[in-house]
């Protein structure tokens, strides 16, 4: 999954890096506020995606003594800095440029005719060409991100549109959202430039430049909120539901409680729970296991000592403890394996056995009750 996110990020970095240069080169001769804001938009996208790539690389590092569950949450931290920092800066720069352009409305003049290699042309055509290239590149990058996002949604058994509201990978969602906003921004810039040229009123261009800046601000708020939620020790309801299903279906578990989980990142969830075992199911077959352990312990000592009462008592006690611990470990392993089968992103499981619950209606309890009455 991480490879798909990285591919989408690298594609976006290359595409937006090229567009940033082209848009700045055209924004100056066209004197377009919308084109300048689109250049700032592409610059912020490029820097943001570099931050996302750093987060992906950092997040893939293995667990160590300082980060017991790995570095996965660093992705959310880099995404948060990127969203709140870069997009907020981009929004502020865009609004500032639009304000200064509005202040100079009376001084504005038609863009000069450009001459290159003896050919004269209106720079508006150059701006139009760059916007067409931008639309094609941004559309391609958006397609890459959407295909990866759709594949993720299908693997989780939900529709892509539902996954938009339940994102597990904020990096991929950030790329998808940014590219969608980028395509919209290109359309806004084109409409603003065209309307200004047709009507002769530069306010069209300024208005659409403001719209582009506001989109950057909204993107910052949405991505910031998503990453803040994932950084705030959010529980994993799917993992907890999977554990509930496993526990209720297991014949040796009487009940469970104190079930909790925490999402480390989109591929790692930590789950803890306490269980109490059902007496009659737990004891079934335990006698044979105890007898086997006791025979092994007795056979390990010299034959001359095998009838020693103290030794046989020790062997019986140790065999009972060993068999009980062995069966408990097997039970926990069974629960963990079944849980990870239902919810593969559960990477760490801690299950504490609180005790064995007596069942008053069991045959064994009935026999003990009868003996006590004799």
DSSP 232: S
260-299 pLDDT tens trace: 988 887 778 899 999 888 776 667 777 888 888 888 888 8
Tokens 């209106």 correspond to 122
Structural domains of the chain, count: 2
Tokens 């097997």 correspond to 330
Output the pLDDT for position 273: 92
* Distance in angstroms between the alpha carbons of the first and the last residue of the chain: 67
Are 111 and 14 in the same domain?
A: yes
Strands 268-278 and 346-357: parallel
CA–CA separation, 349 and 328 (whole Å) = 15
Chain mean position to CA 140: 23
Q: Are 30 and 193 in contact (CB under 8 A)?
A: yes
Domain's final residue, options 168, 200, 230: 230
Are 296 and 153 in the same domain?
A: no
Are 266 and 215 in the same domain?
A: no
The CATH number that applies at residue 266 is 3.30.70.1350
Are 289 and 326 in the same domain?
A: yes
Are 214 and 257 in the same domain?
A: no
Q: Are 263 and 235 in contact (CB under 8 A)?
A: yes
Are 128 and 268 in the same domain?
A: no
- Give the ranges where 231-362 is alpha helix by DSSP (H): 237-249, 279-283, 286-299, 309-342
The CATH number that applies at residue 224 is 1.20.1510
CA–CA separation, 237 and 240 (whole Å) = 5
Are 88 and 65 in the same domain?
A: yes
The neighbouring-strand residues paired with 277 are: 253, 356
Are 97 and 139 in the same domain?
A: yes
324-333 pLDDT tens trace: 888 888 888 9
**Which of left, alpha, beta for 62 (phi over 0: left; psi -120 to 50: alpha)?**
beta
Strands 114-116 and 119-121: antiparallel
Are 247 and 365 in the same domain?
A: yes
The neighbouring-strand residues paired with 346 are: 269
The neighbouring-strand residues paired with 116 are: 119
Q: Cα-flanking dihedrals φ and ψ of residue 158, to 5°?
A: -130, 165
Are 251 and 138 in the same domain?
A: no
Domain's final residue, options 187, 211, 230: 230
Other CB atoms within a 10 A radius of the CB of residue 17 amount to 16
Token representation of residue 47: 């820097």
Task: Look up the pTM and report it.
Answer: 0.60
Q: Please, what are the averages of pLDDT over each run of 10 residues along the chain (374 residues)?
A: 68 84 80 74 81 81 74 76 73 78 65 54 70 84 82 76 68 77 83 80 82 82 77 80 90 87 82 85 76 84 80 85 85 90 88 73 46 42
CA–CA separation, 49 and 90 (whole Å) = 14
Q: Which helix (H) or strand (E) is 79 found in, with range?
A: helix 74-81
Domain residue limits at 319: 237-373
Are 216 and 259 in the same domain?
A: no
SS3 112: coil
SS3 167: coil
Domain's final residue, options 230, 252, 278: 230
Are 217 and 328 in the same domain?
A: no
């Amino acid at each position: 999954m991480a490879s798909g996110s990285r591919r989408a990020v690298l594609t976006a970095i290359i595409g937006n890096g090229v567009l940033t240069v082209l848009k700045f080169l055209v924004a100056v001769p066209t004197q377009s506020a919308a084109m300048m804001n689109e250049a700032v938009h592409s610059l912020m996208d490029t820097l943001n995606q570099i931050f996302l790539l750093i987060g992906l690389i950092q997040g893939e590092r293995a667990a160590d003594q300082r980060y017991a569950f790995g570095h996965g949450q660093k992705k959310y931290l880099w995404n948060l800095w990127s969203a709140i920092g870069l997009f907020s800066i981009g929004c502020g720069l865009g609004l500032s440029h639009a304000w200064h352009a509005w202040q100079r409305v009376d001084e504005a003049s038609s863009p000069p005719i450009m001459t290159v290699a003896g050919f004269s042309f209106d720079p508006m055509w150059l701006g139009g060409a760059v916007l067409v290239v931008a639309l094609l590149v941004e559309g391609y990058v958006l397609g890459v991100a959407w295909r990866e996002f759709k594949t993720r949604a299908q693997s989780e058994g939900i529709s892509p549109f539902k996954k938009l509201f339940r994102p597990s990978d904020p990096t991929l969602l950030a790329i998808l959202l940014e590219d969608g906003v980028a395509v919209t921004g290109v359309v806004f810039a084109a409409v603003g430039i065209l309307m200004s040229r047709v009507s002769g009123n530069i306010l069209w261009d300024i208005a659409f430049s403001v719209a582009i800046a506001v989109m950057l601000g909204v993107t910052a708020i949405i991505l910031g909120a998503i990453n803040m939620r994932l950084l705030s020790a959010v529980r994993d309801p799917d993992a907890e539901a999977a554990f509930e299903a496993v526990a209720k279906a297991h014949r040796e578990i009487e009940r469970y409680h104190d079930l909790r989980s925490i999402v480390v990142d989109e591929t790692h969830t930590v789950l803890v729970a306490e269980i109490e075992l059902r007496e009659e199911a737990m004891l079934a077959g335990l006698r044979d296991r105890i007898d086997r352990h006791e025979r092994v312990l007795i056979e390990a000592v010299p034959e001359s000592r095998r009838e020693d009462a103290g030794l046989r008592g020790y062997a019986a006690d140790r065999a009972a403890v060993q068999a009980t611990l062995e069966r408990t470990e097997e039970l926990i392993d069974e629960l963990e394996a079944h849980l990870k089968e239902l919810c593969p992103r559960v990477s760490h499981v801690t299950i504490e056995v609180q005790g064995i619950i007596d069942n008053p209606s069991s045959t064994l309890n009935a026999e003990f009750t009868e003996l006590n009455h004799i």
